[in-house]
């Protein structure tokens, strides 16, 4: 698995060829593609850009809402000179499940739509010739998919997605696809643990390779000057007068790893790594031993027409908007984002709460009365009482966490993990499940980053049964919107402060941050006095929350929901998507963004 977690790079020994572009595409509603030979070509394809979600490119309802099996097929030339090494296709994601075929031979299967996997193709290719690459995907949701939902049939047999989450179930080959060449003896993993020692740093490292030759690691500063070197697959790199990575003041070293046979370089890989520590202590979150205050957002990878398709332009605009407003952090709600997003956060010095795609584990929030209305009423009211959740879903969750940590562990920006969003923690059945996944991440994350989950308002202080596993508390609360909205907003302050004081009593040493709060706001609606949905009201809600946050020194961060308006399932509570953005879906600020800009530019990143 580790090789799949290494971000693809070209080096002196590695080659890479993009497979992005136009692929053949066809729905397979009767799941007959394998039997009918679609692995070698589609009978009646259309063309589909990769990377992209397929939904919003279509103009007909059947295609947009399609749920079930669907295929992508392309022709791939594989250079003959690559025969002496390992040739793999890396899918940065395939949502939600994928089976890969080369010239009709199955070469990979992966479940989980937000993390990479590779298909090793040496034994299936025609060298120095054209090959057929076919990918069969499926986007159905269940209690054993992450994210969680249901799939049901209309009377005419059409499958319908019923997400238990408030974002559109976009799917497809939504991130980059690359053909990779690496030597047979190759670097497969790099792990680093940073220790700050006055003005110096000591970096414990571990390299995994597929062979027995020795390894060297060289560290270069941003001017390309060597600052440390070590030999062996494990060791410590001592960096004098270290330039630490900090919030909004990033510094990245280049760690160059080589497998060597004497002077011959067998394989070379590098990563850009910021040196920092992060910990929770005495109701504070500390980066490099200094107390931080997090200002930022819950986000989505979401944009018009592209859907959840990787969009470097939109990502760049999002970072520029976040820098403009004075943010220093974000949560990858509600799934691991594209690696390019984390490299951007490394470069810009953003504190990232890296969230697993475990959303929807609370039946009563299923789909927010969405038009497609989830139908699992035959199931127990609390998610974790379901036997299949305690067995199958837990196994899938653990594997997903292993993949997420393996992929993201070197990023300086990844400063904390969120293992679930808004799970049902009202019932004791959640406790063993939570302890299993939190113990797992504690074991596999060598940097021992703080871990948490986003707490839902239906499981408040005194009801929540699992808060003991969290290193810090992260609350999603909606006074001023779902409760105590409009003219009752003042009641929200009273109730929220009462709950916060109960949380502090329950967990007196743990810092608390808010990972969601806000109000749906239609850009352009103005009312005096304000009414809900108006821009003026969103400002009032932000002001209400600001007063609450400023009342307690153990509140360490504020991340309103959401950076941008985003697409959801249609339903009576969504007006072409969720409108809680501080920016519109085309990334333009609403009135409340200017309030937050004034507030956040006056709050230092470090207390
Ligand atoms: C009461 C739960 C609120 C909910 N939290 C998860 C987000 O993914 C949704 O978008 C947000 C909302 O309804 O706006």
DSSP assignment of 376-405, as one string?
A: -TTS-SSGGGSHHIIIIIHHHHHHHHHHHH
The predicted pLDDT at position 378 comes to 53
For ligand 1, the distance from its centroid to the CA atom of residue 187, given in whole angstroms, is: 41
CA dihedral sign of residues 31, 35, 39, 41: negative
Which residue, judged by its Cα, is nearest atom 9 of ligand 1?
A: 166
Residue 516, ligand 1, Cβ within 6 A: yes
Ligand 1 contact via 166 beta carbon (within 6 Å): yes
Count how many residues are written for the chain. 607
Burial code (b: 16+ CB inside 10 Å, e: under 16) for 316-331 equals: ebbbebbeebbbbbbb
- Given a cut of 90, whether residue 440 has pLDDT beyond it is yes
* Structure confidence at residue 372 as a pLDDT band (50, 70, 90): very low
Q: Is the pLDDT of residue 231 over 60?
A: yes
The catalytic residue among 516, 535, 540, 558 is: 516
Average pLDDT of the segment spanning 327-334: 98
pLDDT score, position 1: 57
> Which residue bears the tokens 């696809």?
177
The β-bridge partners of 69 are: 28, 138
Give yes or no: 516 in active site: yes
Residues paired with residue 462 on neighbouring β-strands, in sequence order: none
For 509-520, how does the pLDDT look when each residue is reduced to its tens digit (9 = 90+)? Answer: 999 999 999 999
Mutate to test the pocket of ligand 1, among 370, 561, 585 (most ligand atoms within 8 A of CB): 561
Q: Residue 562: is the preceding peptide bond cis (ω within 30°)?
A: yes
State how beta strands 105-111 and 97-102 pair.
antiparallel
Percent of the chain residues past pLDDT 70, beyond the cut: 97
Omega into 529 within 30° of 0, i.e. cis? Answer: yes
3-182 CATH pick, 2.60.120.260, 3.10.310.30, 2.120.10.30, 3.40.640.10: 2.60.120.260
pLDDT value at residue 371? 42
pLDDT grade for 138, boundaries at 50, 70 and 90: very high
370 pLDDT more than 80 = no
Alpha-carbon dihedral angle through residues 313, 317, 320, 324, given to the nearest 10 degrees? 170
CA distance 370 to 68: 20
Confidence band (pLDDT; 50, 70, 90) for 2?
A: confident
Q: What is the pLDDT of residue 286?
A: 98
This prediction has a pTM of 0.97
- Average pLDDT value for residue range 31-37: 98
Answer yes or no: is pLDDT of 479 > 60. Answer: yes
CA 559 from centroid of its chain's CA atoms: 16
The pair of three-digit structure tokens given for residue 181, joined into one six-digit string: 């060449």
Report yes or no: 310 and 343 within 8 Å, Cβ to Cβ. no
What is the C-alpha to C-alpha distance for residues 229 and 214, in angstroms, rounded to an integer?
14
Residue nearest (by alpha carbon) to ligand 1 atom 6 = 166
Angle at 66 between CA 61 and CA 72, to 5 degrees: 125
* Ligand 1 centroid – CA 166 distance (Å): 6
116: CB partners within 8 A, 6+ apart: 4, 5, 90, 91, 92, 93, 175, 339, 403, 407
Q: Is 199 exposed, middle or buried (0-12, 13-18, 19+ CB in 10 A)?
A: exposed
Between CA 269 and CA 188 the distance in angstroms is 9
Catalytic residue, chosen from 185, 344, 422, 540, is 422
The residue-averaged pLDDT of 21-38 equals: 98
CATH T-level topology, domain 187-278: Immunoglobulin-like (2.60.40)
Q: Which fold has domain 290-602?
A: TIM Barrel (3.20.20)
Ligand 1 contact, 270 CB (< 6 A)? no
Question: For residue 78, what are the contacts with CB-CB under 8 A and spacing of at least 6?
Answer: 87, 121, 125, 126, 127, 128, 129, 131, 179
Does 457 contact ligand 1 (Cβ within 6 A)?
Answer: yes
Average pLDDT over residues 540-557: 98
Distance 363 CA to ligand 1 centre (A): 13
Structure-token pair, residue 364: 């009563």
Ordered strands of the 234-239 beta sheet: 187-197, 200-209, 234-239
- Cα 479 to Cα 265: distance, rounded to the nearest angstrom: 60
Residue 373 has pLDDT above 50, yes or no: no
59 pLDDT tier (thresholds 50, 70, 90): very high
Please give the average per-residue pLDDT across 367-396, as a whole number. Answer: 70
Q: Which of 208-222, 317-331, 357-371, 581-595 is least confident? A: 357-371
Closest by Cα among 569, 579, 564 to 534: 579
Asked about 505 being catalytic, the answer comes back as no
Which pLDDT value is given to residue 76?
Answer: 98
- Residues 330-339: what's their mean pLDDT? 98
Q: For ligand 1, is residue 478 a contact (CB within 6 Å)? A: yes
pLDDT of 52 over the 60 cut: yes
Give CA 565 to chain center in angstroms. 18
- The pLDDT of residue 379: 52
472 pLDDT more than 90 = yes
Does an H or E element contain 540, and which?
helix 535-549
Give the three-class secondary structure for 76.
strand
How large a percentage of the chain has pLDDT more than 90? 95
Q: How far apart are CA 453 and CA 424, in angstroms?
A: 11
d(CA 214, CA 2) in angstroms, rounded, equals 19
Minimum CA distance residue for ligand 1 atom 8: 166
301, 331, 362, 478, best to mutate for ligand 1 pocket (most atoms within 8 Å of CB)? 478
Query: Is residue 105 a contact partner of residue 89, using CB atoms and an 8 Å limit?
Result: no
- pLDDT(14) > 90: yes
- Report which ligand 1 atom has the smallest distance to the Cα of 333: 8
pLDDT at 382: 77
Instruction: Please tell me the distance between residue 294's alpha carbon and the centre of ligand 1 in angstroms.
Output: 20
3-class state of residue 473 by DSSP: strand
pLDDT at residue 363 in the model? 66
SS3 318: helix
Is 578 touching ligand 1 by the criterion CB < 6 Å?
Answer: yes
What pLDDT is recorded for position 364? Answer: 57
Q: Provide the pLDDT for residue 375.
A: 45
- Evaluated on CA atoms 19, 25, 28, 32, the torsion sign reads negative
Q: What's the pLDDT at 21?
A: 98
Domain spans of the chain, in order of start: 3-182, 187-278, 290-602
pLDDT tier for residue 362 given thresholds of 50, 70 and 90: confident
Q: Check if the interface score ipTM surpasses 0.90.
A: yes
Question: Is the confidence at residue 54, as pLDDT, over 90?
Answer: yes
Q: Which residues are CB-neighbours of 321 under 8 A, at least 6 positions away?
A: 563, 583, 587, 589
Atom 11 of ligand 1 has which residue's CA nearest to it?
166
Q: How far apart are the first and last CA of the chain?
A: 40
User: Does the beta carbon of 580 sit less than 6 angstroms from any atom of ligand 1?
Assistant: yes
161-205 confidence digits (pLDDT tens): 999 999 999 999 999 999 999 999 999 999 999 999 999 999 999
Q: What is the reported pLDDT for 381?
A: 57
């Amino acid at each position: 698995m580790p090789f799949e977690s290494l971000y693809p790079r070209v080096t002196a020994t590695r080659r890479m060829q993009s497979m992005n572009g136009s692929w053949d595409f066809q729905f397979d509603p009767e799941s007959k593609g394998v039997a009918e030979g679609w692995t070698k070509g589609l009978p009646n394809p259309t063309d589909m850009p990769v990377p992209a979600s397929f939904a919003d490119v279509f103009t007909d309802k059947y295609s947009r809402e399609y749920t079930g099996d669907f295929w992508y097929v392309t022709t791939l030339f594989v250079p003959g000179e690559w025969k002496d090494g390992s040739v793999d296709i890396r899918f940065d994601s395939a949502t939600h499940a994928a089976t890969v075929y080369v010239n009709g031979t199955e070469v990979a299967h992966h479940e989980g739509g937000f993390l990479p996997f590779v298909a090793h193709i040496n034994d299936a290719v025609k060298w120095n010739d054209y090959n057929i690459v076919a990918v069969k995907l499926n986007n159905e949701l269940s209690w054993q998919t992450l994210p969680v939902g249901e799939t049901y049939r209309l009377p005419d047999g059409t499958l319908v997605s019923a997400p238990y989450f408030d974002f559109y179930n976009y799917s497809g080959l939504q991130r980059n696809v690359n053909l990779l060449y690496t030597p047979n003896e190759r670097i497969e993993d790099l792990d680093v643990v940073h220790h700050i020692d006055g003005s110096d740093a000591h970096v414990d490292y571990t390299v995994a390779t597929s062979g027995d030759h020795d390894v060297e690691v060289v560290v270069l500063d941003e001017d390309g000057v060597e600052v440390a070197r070590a030999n062996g697959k494990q060791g410590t790199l001592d960096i004098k007068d270290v330039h630490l990575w900090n919030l909004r003041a990033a510094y990245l070293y280049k760690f160059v790893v080589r497998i060597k046979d004497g002077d011959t370089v067998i394989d070379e890989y590098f990563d850009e790594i910021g040196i920092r520590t992060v910990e929770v202590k005495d109701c504070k979150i500390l980066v490099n031993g200094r107390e931080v205050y997090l200002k930022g957002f819950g986000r989505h990878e979401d944009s018009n027409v592209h859907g959840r398709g990787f969009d470097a332009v939109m990502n760049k605009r999002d970072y520029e908007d976040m820098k403009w407003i004075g943010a220093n952090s974000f949560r990858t709600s509600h799934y691991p984002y594209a690696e390019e997003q984390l490299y951007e956060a490394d470069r810009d010095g953003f504190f990232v709460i890296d969230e697993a795609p475990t959303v929807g584990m609370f039946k009563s929030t299923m789909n927010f009365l969405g038009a497609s209305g989830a139908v699992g009423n035959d199931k127990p009211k609390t998610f974790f009482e379901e036997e299949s959740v305690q067995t199958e879903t837990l196994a899938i969750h653990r594997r997903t966490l292993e993949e997420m940590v393996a992929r993201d562990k070197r990023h300086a920006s990844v400063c904390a993990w969120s293992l679930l969003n808004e799970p049902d923690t009202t019932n004791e059945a959640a406790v063993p499940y939570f302890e299993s996944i939190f113990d797992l991440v504690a074991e596999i994350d060598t940097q021992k980053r703080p871990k948490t989950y986003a707490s839902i308002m239906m499981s408040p202080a005194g009801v929540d049964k699992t808060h003991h596993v969290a290193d810090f508390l992260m609350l999603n609360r909606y006074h001023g919107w779902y409760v105590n909205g409009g003219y009752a907003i003042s009641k929200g302050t009273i109730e929220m402060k009462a709950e916060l004081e109960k949380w502090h009593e329950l967990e007196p040493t743990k810092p608390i941050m808010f990972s969601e709060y806000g109000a749906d706001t239609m850009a352009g609606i103005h009312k005096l006095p304000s009414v809900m949905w108006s821009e003026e009201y969103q400002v009032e809600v932000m002001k209400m929350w600001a007063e609450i946050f400023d009342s307690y020194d153990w509140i360490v961060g504020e991340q309103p929901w959401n950076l941008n308006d985003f697409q959801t399932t249609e339903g009576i509570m969504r007006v072409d998507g969720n409108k809680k953005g501080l920016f519109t879906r085309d990334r333009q600020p609403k009135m409340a963004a200017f309030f937050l800009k004034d507030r956040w530019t006056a709050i230092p990143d470090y207390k």
